[in-house]
Homo-oligomer: A and B are copies of this chain.
Amino acid sequence: MSLSETIHRANEAAAGKILVVDVPLTLESGAVLASYRIAYQTYGRLNADKSNAILVCHALTGDQFVADTHPITGKPGWWTTLIGPGLLIDTDRYFVICSNVLGGCLGTTGPKEANPATGQPWGLDFPVITIGDMVQAQVALIDHLGIDQLFCAIGGSMGGMQVLKWATAHPDRVFAAVPIATASRHSAQNIAFHEVGRQAIMADPDWCGGSYFLHDKRPERGLAVARMAAHITYLSELALHRKFGRNLQDRNAISYGFEADFQVESYLRHQGASFVERFDANSYLYITRATDYFDLAAEYGGQLAEAFRGGNVRYCVISFTSDWLYPTSESRVIVHALNAVAGNVSFVEIETDAGHDAFLLDEPEFFATLKGFIEGCARHRGLS
């Protein structure tokens, strides 16, 4: 069995449901994927008139296992606090869909899959993809499931970018949209942090110009460094202080050496080491690139409001006070643009010191906001 076959079979085992799309996908770059696979999970049942579907869009390093056990790490899904029977997004009432993004590494077509032209993993020959391309692939999945209109598209961070793209490119197919802790375009600082991560990966000799699978190597050290740098941006200064402060691993003394004396060092190293077990380095390059390229206004002559004009989507925009990766000011830009075209939008800034990762945590005010919005929309949609 060749290496690419091994990868392929591992994916099959890990990925849950798979849709193979044989209709060619023309990417924003102009490149064409002749066919592609979408790995996805669903929870709950689609109702008779197919009006109760909620699409969950995952963040940079998330995946489709939003509400059940992750096949690699064995950990609970990343939004089990929110999604499940009787929970806020109640799978007894809603049909929840989550798919691995295009370019990802958990079953959906991406750089570690076999390039049909060669039979070997794509590596850097995989075309660069965008948030818009990810959404195009999701549209194919929603079509396949026979759903005309999503009841709701929801996601945080890069997931929020997909939500914005869905609601502006396909306003008739989204009843309600919840972009959380996100932005309508990446800032210079956002791009800068991603570039550090990419350079860390590319600096690793085991990256082999992107062809590491062919050399039976993986750039684990570079990818770990990339993850460590990114992870700092997911937490607030205060959250790090509260969690670790200057606490030492060994309570008694510093070592006067380069081992992880401080708990925060040990924590970061662990974040790096565990990440490389579940993520592909080239996917990290492609997905960070997609978020860097994201600029919703650019397609509308730089006028963000024009992206929202004419749509009838109900928006709930949510930000967190201590999120310095996608600060509240970025959400305000979205809200102001919606206001400028008399869009239907509620906006809530949640007070928390948890930083960007607050959207993954059990934040009571955040949950109360979501609950109110989803229940209100359900009544309007006749789902109550």
Contact = CB atoms under 8 A, between A and B. Distances in A.
Interface of A: 28-29, 31, 124, 127-128, 185-189, 191-193, 195-196, 198-200, 202-205, 221-222, 224-225, 228-229, 232, 237, 240-241, 243-246, 254, 256-258, 260-262, 264-265, 268-269, 272, 285, 289, 292-293, 295, 324, 327
Contact of A229 (B128, B186, B196, B293): B196
Contact of A241 (B187, B221, B246): B187
Contacts of A292: 261-262
A241 B189 contact: yes
A275 to B, nearest CB: 13
B237 A128 contact: no
Count of this chain's copies in the oligomeric assembly: 2
Contact of A268 (B186, B196, B222, B237): B196
Contact of A199 (B199, B246, B269): B269
Contact of A203 (B225, B254, B262, B268): B225
A264 B199 contact: no
A264 B191 contact: yes
Given A189-B232, A203-B204, A203-B222, 4 more contacts: A188-B246, A191-B265, A192-B228, A192-B240
B186 A246 contact: yes
A196 B245 CA distance: 17
Contacts of A198: 258
Given A124-B258, A258-B289, A188 B272 contact: no
B193 A232 contact: yes
Nearest to A227: B196
A272 B229 CA distance: 15
Given A225-B199, A232-B193, A295-B246, A258 B241 contact: no
A203 B258 CA distance: 13
Nearest to A235: B189
Q: Among A196, A202, A256, A324, find the residue whose CB has the most chain B CB atoms closer than 10 A.
A: A196
Nearest to A255: B128
Contacts of A265: 191-192, 195
A188 B254 CA distance: 15
Contacts of A185: 246
Nearest to A29: B256
Contacts of A186: 246
